[in-house]
Homo-oligomer: A and B are copies of this chain.
Amino acid sequence: MNIGQASKLTGLSSKMIRHYESIGLIKPQSRTEAGYRNFGEYDIQQLKFIFQARSLGFSLEQIAQLLLLWKQEDRSSINVSELVKLHIKQLNEKIEAMTQMRHTLEKLVDSCPASDDPNCPILAALSVPAIK
């Protein structure tokens, strides 16, 4: 099937499918005489896998590793597990950082009159090195 059809089936844009091929995340497809990519069932499976993994926040680098394990019959599930745990750890760090930001920002908003008064503690706080 053509790339447009593959796109519809997998949720990935044609653009991205071509990109994934160009960076070696998926193998180059077979082509028709005219040069059109030809996607088979196995290709679609992989693309769906990528779509799922992307929606769980894995980087393409991580997805490349996951795909390797997926194809590898004699994998050890602990390798998959460790990879996912690392991703969770990275997610936690980002969530933690953003939650901290949110906390500070909410305190700032609370301290602001939010009126036509030009006096604004938010700007004041941004003007000094340390915000606690």
A76 within 8 A of B: yes
Q: Is A33 an interface residue (CB 8 A)?
A: no
A95 at the binding interface (Cβ < 8 Å): yes
Q: Are A123 and B80 in contact (CB under 8 A)?
A: yes
The quantity of this chain's copies bound in the complex is 2
Taken residue by residue from 56 to 97, chain A's Cβ proximity to chain B (1 for < 8 Å, 0 otherwise) reads as 110000000010011011111110111011011001101100
Interface set of A (CB-CB < 8 Å, partner B) = 45, 48-49, 52-53, 56-57, 66, 69-70, 72-78, 80-82, 84-85, 87-88, 91-92, 94-95, 98-99, 101-102, 104-106, 108-109, 112-120, 122-123, 125-129, 131
Contact A113 B77 (CB under 8 A): yes
Also in contact, A127 and B45, with CB within 8 A (given A98-B91, A118-B75): yes
Sample 26 A-B pairs with CB under 8 A, ordered by A number. Answer: A48-B129, A52-B126, A52-B128, A56-B101, A56-B131, A57-B101, A66-B126, A69-B123, A70-B123, A70-B127, A74-B118, A76-B117, A76-B118, A77-B119, A77-B120, A78-B114, A78-B115, A80-B120, A81-B112, A81-B113, A81-B114, A82-B114, A84-B108, A84-B109, A91-B101, A95-B95
